[in-house]
Amino acid sequence: MSERILVINPNTTRSCTKGIAAAMASLPMPAGLRLEVAELPAGPPAIASWEDWHAVALPLCRMVERQPAAAYVIACVSDPGLEAVRAATPRPVLGMFRCAVAAAVSRAERFGILGFVAASEARQRRALQAMGLEARLAGWVPLDLPMAVLTEPEAPRARIAAAARRLAEAGAETIILGCTGLAGHAALAAEAAGRPVIEPCRAAGAMALLAALGEREVPAA
């Protein structure tokens, strides 16, 4: 077994990949286990539409088949190709959205989602329905900004703060950042909303670490 957790960004926006790596850099990795962040070479600039979501599933499978790891993380908060990739490897495969939701409901009864674009809502609601948790969603607010703008340190700040406040007013007791491009804005959203914020990169990284350690306990076939 390869002693790494492979985190795959299914889009090709380099600033997004750097933000994912930065968000996960402080995770406490034990000796002998490393975390690697990579881009999907065939990916779009962002997972904005259902077409984008479906288009990356097969390339993700092929990448996972070629690159052994103790665990994999699909680094998009719409969990594209999750079921297909799980069928392509016996190793754990985690989706950032499902990990973030699990973290949110462990902290509060109701949560809100700060979304990427309006088209993301249907994908995330379907995942919530599959998890049996849609009733605990207090609100969903899209930012509708290009990925390249979303990852900038200053340009999206006003819109992020306003959206975070709307979620708090809607009754969200904790807020999920609904896009990996928001990884660098967790503190801003938390300050604006006055609520704890779940950053999906760290949530998925922590769960992938537990999964990879669990793989070490499984005897070789």
Cβ neighbourhood burial of 176 (10 Å; 0-12, 13-18, 19+): buried
pLDDT attached to residue 216:
63
Predicted structure pTM score: 0.92
Q: How far apart are CA 89 and CA 9, in angstroms?
A: 18
Is 140:160 a contact under the CB 8 Å cutoff?
no
Q: For residue 130, list its beta bridge partners.
A: none
Task: Please give the C-alpha separations between residue 98 and each of 78, 129, 149, 219, in angstroms, as whole numbers.
Answer: 9, 11, 25, 28
| Category of 171 on φ-ψ map: left (φ > 0), alpha (ψ -120 to 50) or beta | left
Cβ neighbourhood burial of 164 (10 Å; 0-12, 13-18, 19+): buried
pLDDT attached to residue 1:
44
Cβ neighbourhood burial of 40 (10 Å; 0-12, 13-18, 19+): buried
Give the residue among 178, 180, 217, 206 at the shortest CA–CA distance from 5.
206
For tokens 């933000």, name the residue.
Answer: 19
pLDDT attached to residue 221:
46
For the chain, which ranges sit under pLDDT 50? Answer: 1, 220-221
pLDDT attached to residue 214:
79
Structural domains in the chain plus CATH codes: 4-95+202-216 (3.40.50.12500), 98-200 (3.40.50.12500)
